[in-house]
A = this chain, B = another copy of it.
């Protein structure tokens, strides 16, 4: 059951698609508490949700603030990451009904989930104008499904977007790109995409191409595509201030940019230096921005990633000026004491993503002129929508790849996300595992973390262990920051055979992974989910924070600690374990329900088939186009001796007619 309560006069976020009447009675389950709501938790109640946020599957024991932030220091103590996913799912330990809470509000929402008091959940919006949707059902899985119905169907990418993507902030020229493609091929590693970071642009200006570095991008794209590799360029939120740039000029002339209080365009510096920011909350500005992608789709580009769309701001000219004045004043002092000195440090760091800047510009929406900070969390998602809407016109009937950094619920209908700028660490591998079901619960099915880690330096074993989980995530991208260790998979020569086996395994599993993704997208089914969703009556299953169910028939239990040669796995029921060194080299064993310590060396992956399930397996291929999903073998666990068939989805992978019944076939009878 979904109940919608309206408090004050909410801004129309368009996050939900169901048109629910506003309830008139009191809000059940929650207790009013000042400007927010309170819920007292029993010790073993679990609170799922919040999508892209730090900490475990169970969000208890921390406070959070949905406030889309360019937070490159991913870690357990951050309050906000790049996205605002205002969904909580309370699963009481006593078996009483589960409660879903969606706070439909475009500004900051703060959550205290056992941070101040261990037993108390509290949340509040920055303003008393919001809609509160309460979903109640006996089981968590039902609440999750009803929520997906409330927010509408998830974005579906082309099938080739389930191949491997290689990316790095630092590929500067056509030669760099060709080198990556050549090395993958030379090393016998599959590849479907190479991403272009901002260096392909002229002076980091959106919708331009640096002709010195990429003399013929269309030819490059076509040549790579012939080898099964798509080029996927980046688009940033800010439009470079440049009177000679036609896009900039048109945006200015037609008034599509966000404005300051005095009506002049808001300016802040990002990668290209000073930039304007399209008012994505306006349909006309969205349409205009979306049309600009044509310069790239005309070159044969079929996929994009949208970045910097929180929007991230390096500095505003006003605040930079104030900083320089402060520095000049301090420079006249003989001896900076600690207050002066750390004040100086804080001043510089505080130039970036300054709250004052977010309070200094405006959107002109159908609901009136509104200051940015009050609708901040909609910005990134509306940029996603700008692109998604445009692709329907630019590439009619065709799927276009799109995944974005910032998002709010609703944007999942237009694109996927990556999990933000993480870093190369074992704790971020665990965060990847724990974040996947949380973002997918919020509709962002096509998602994944930067494998091996974006910033800082990875290691051969971390790269391999991360791949051992990443091979199951819909978006499988290896992406790195400019100053971090080179981490294309072919760099790790000492563990290369194992890396090749794991990449091959991904491709071999695509008939299953793609089918399960399509079930999730078309039927509001789950892809990744906590064990307790399927085994709600099992108290031990509720304890598990680092294993996931994957589609109908599989469970994964990744090794996420360094130097481990195995791990403890909990089986809520008897399952068949596969310990895979490759798609053709594995141990198998039927294990009873319970906890098991299972050896799992570097280069091995543990996979569990649930009873009565069958998994179709293809032969590995160099890219998705070469994958033959008719020549299948089957991994099964049929404890009753009767092999179950598998309902598989197979289509051309590129057109938008997802719903034709002939895409479904029964295999493995």
Contact = CB atoms under 8 A, between A and B. Distances in A.
Interface of A: 43-44, 46, 55-56, 58, 60-62, 75-77, 114-115, 117-119, 204, 269-274, 314-315, 320-321, 324, 327-328, 330-331, 335-338, 341, 344-345, 348-349, 423-427, 456-457, 459-462, 494-495, 540, 543, 545, 561-566, 568, 595, 597, 601-602
Contacts of A314: 338, 341
A345 B545 CA distance: 38
A118 B461 contact: yes
19 contacts: A56-B563, A60-B563, A62-B459, A62-B562, A76-B427, A77-B424, A114-B461, A117-B494, A118-B459, A118-B460, A118-B461, A270-B338, A272-B337, A320-B336, A328-B331, A344-B348, A345-B349, A545-B561, A595-B595
A61 B559 CA distance: 15
Nearest to A455: B77
Given A461-B61, A595-B568, A562 B56 contact: yes
A457 B336 contact: no
A197 to B, nearest CB: 13
Contact of A76 (B62, B425, B495): B425
Most buried by B among A44, A77, A427: A77
A336 B562 contact: no
Given A75-B425, A315-B341, A461-B114, A562 B60 contact: yes
Given A315-B336, A348-B345, A77 B457 contact: yes
B335 A273 contact: yes
B568 A545 contact: no
A326 to B, nearest CB: 10
Nearest to A339: B273
Contacts of A564: 543, 545
Given A320-B336, A344-B348, A425-B75, A562 B331 contact: no
A461 B117 CA distance: 9
A269 B61 CA distance: 39
A94 B315 CA distance: 58
A61 B462 contact: yes
A563 B58 contact: yes
Given A115-B457, A204-B338, A315-B341, 12 more contacts: A43-B601, A77-B425, A117-B494, A269-B338, A273-B335, A273-B337, A324-B327, A327-B328, A328-B328, A348-B348, A427-B427, A543-B565
Given A77-B423, A77-B457, A595-B568, A335 B118 contact: no
Nearest to A338: B271
A543 B566 contact: yes
Ranked nearest first, the 10 interchain pairs of A and B with the lowest CB-CB distance are A324-B331, A118-B460, A327-B327, A58-B563, A348-B348, A273-B335, A568-B568, A273-B337, A61-B562, A117-B494
Nearest to A456: B77
A61 to B, nearest CB: 5
A567 to B, nearest CB: 9
A329 B423 CA distance: 34
Contact of A597 (B345, B423, B459, B595): B595
A542 to B, nearest CB: 9
Contacts of A423: 77
Contacts of A495: 118
Contacts of A456: 77
Contacts of A424: 77
A331 B597 CA distance: 61
The listed residue with most B CB atoms (<10 A of its CB), out of A119, A335, A423, A425, is A335
B563 A61 contact: yes
A327 B321 CA distance: 11
Given A77-B424, A345-B349, A602-B43, A324 B330 contact: yes
Given A77-B425, A336-B315, A55 B562 contact: yes
Contacts of A204: 338
Contacts of A76: 425-427
A495 B116 CA distance: 11
Nearest to A539: B565
A337 B345 CA distance: 20
A40 to B, nearest CB: 11
Nearest to A461: B61
A330 B324 CA distance: 9
Contacts of A77: 423-425, 456-457
A501 B360 CA distance: 52
A115 B423 CA distance: 16
Contacts of A44: 565
Contacts of A461: 61, 114, 118
Contacts of A62: 459, 562
A349 B119 CA distance: 40
B269 A335 contact: yes
Contacts of A75: 75, 425
Contacts of A117: 460, 494
A602 B117 CA distance: 14
Contacts of A327: 324, 327-328, 331
A290 to B, nearest CB: 26
B119 A269 contact: no
A425 B76 CA distance: 7
Nearest to A321: B331
A269 B336 contact: yes
Contacts of A61: 459, 461-462, 562-563
A86 to B, nearest CB: 21
A558 to B, nearest CB: 15
Contact of A459 (B115, B315, B349, B540): B115
A334 to B, nearest CB: 9
A349 B344 CA distance: 10
Which residue of A44, A58, A115, A562 has the most chain B CB atoms within 10 A of its CB atom? Answer: A562
Contact of A269 (B114, B272, B341, B348): B341
A566 B570 CA distance: 13
A45 B35 CA distance: 57
Contacts of A565: 43-44, 543
Contacts of A595: 568, 595, 597
A61 B460 CA distance: 8
